[in-house]
Amino acid sequence: MKGQPTLQKIVDRFPKVKILVVGDIMMDRFIWGKVSRISPEAPVPVVLVDNSDESETFGLGGAANVANNIHSLGGKVLLCGIVGHDEMGKKIRGQLTEKGIEHKIFTEERRQSTVKTRIFANQQQVVRIDRETVDHPKVSILRDLSNFVMEKIEDFDGIIISDYGKGLLTGTLIRAIIRKARKAKKLIMVDPKLRNFKFYKGATVVTPNTKEASEASRVPMVDGSSIEKIGDKLLKELKCRALVITRGEEGMAIFEPHRKPIYVRTEVREVYDVTGAGDTVIGTLALALGTGTRVSVKEAVKLANYAAGVVVGKMGTATATREDLIEAIKKET
């Protein structure tokens, strides 16, 4: 019970934190149906979808889901990214406006807005269909977006770089954000993608999953001791304040300079859908660390673990509220 008031006090301060999210914006589309037979054309299930409004749902994904989680947890957030000049781009803008999430979205005429369509049958995912453009945006759009971000960094407590490898986050842009944020003494949180790892040097916290961390460090995940070799190597290479490796059901591993690794066990009770859990983790970490310098990375990770435990217990792309988080803390402490 001793740690409970501290964690709750951190959550109570979330509304005072302002986070700028820059990254790859997506739409998560869900089609819900039932399987009653196997197709005579191929050994695949036939998914029957009815005509009700509940048979097809849409949720903000990628960087938009990070912003949605911060907003849901009571923090102040500004989302910056790019979509295509298409129906899904309009739907993304519409959902952000409807939820009251502040945003600056740039539009590229011939770009395909990233859409991940997941088909569920009998509450289990059958297949995922992706539509996307992964090319870098036009130079003029990238320049305008970069100028906007540079102007805004001073106004926020921290910046999240949400990298899904969809083309927006070039090495030049990532380095410019980190350089400006460090100069302004702001938090820089990175949810990474392998191809850009070398550009994250100097960030405050980087949050790869086990696979990403293993590939980036070039250290194979062989046994229990591998995670420490991976973490130590990446921490030295990235020169960040902390490296947080997310390990699914095994929880998270925290690596900080001149300290032994800290392992935080998972708080998941029942997993229904892991979609967007990483977005919840980095959003919660940013809010917790953004409340003040006295908050340790371990405390922030514990809160992120609780929040992730909430969202994976829901179907579809979900968010946790401050009330959800406080309730989870009370149950586990």
Phi and psi angles of residue 39, each rounded to the nearest 5 degrees, phi first: -65, 140
How do residues 237-280 score in pLDDT, each as one tens digit? 999 999 999 988 788 999 999 999 999 987 555 544 456 688 99
State the alpha helices, DSSP H only, in the chain: 4-12, 63-72, 87-99, 139-152, 171-183, 210-217, 226-238, 277-290, 297-311, 322-332
How do residues 155-171 score in pLDDT, each as one tens digit? 999 999 999 999 999 99
Most confident of 120-124, 229-233, 262-266, 267-271: 229-233
Q: What pLDDT sits at residue 274? A: 59
Q: What pLDDT sits at residue 102? A: 98
Cβ atoms of residues 159 and 181 within 8 Å: yes
Domain residues for 191? 4-332
Across the chain, mean pLDDT equals 91
17: left (phi over 0), alpha (psi -120 to 50) or beta: beta
Question: For residue 1, is pLDDT > 80?
Answer: no
Active site residues: 279
Question: For residue 3, is pLDDT > 50?
Answer: no
Question: Per-residue confidence at 4, pLDDT binned at 50, 70, 90?
Answer: very low
Cβ atoms of residues 124 and 275 within 8 Å: no
Looking at residue 41, what DSSP letter applies? Answer: S
Q: How many domains is the chain partitioned into structurally?
A: 1
CATH number for the domain spanning 107: value is: 3.40.1190.20
How do residues 72-112 score in pLDDT, each as one tens digit? 999 999 999 999 999 999 999 999 999 999 999 999 999 99
Q: How far is CA 320 from the centre of its chain?
A: 13
Give the 3-state secondary structure of residue 15.
helix
Number of residues written out for the chain? 333
Residue 34: beta bridge partners?
48
The owner of tokens 């992706």 is: 130
Cβ atoms of residues 46 and 257 within 8 Å: no
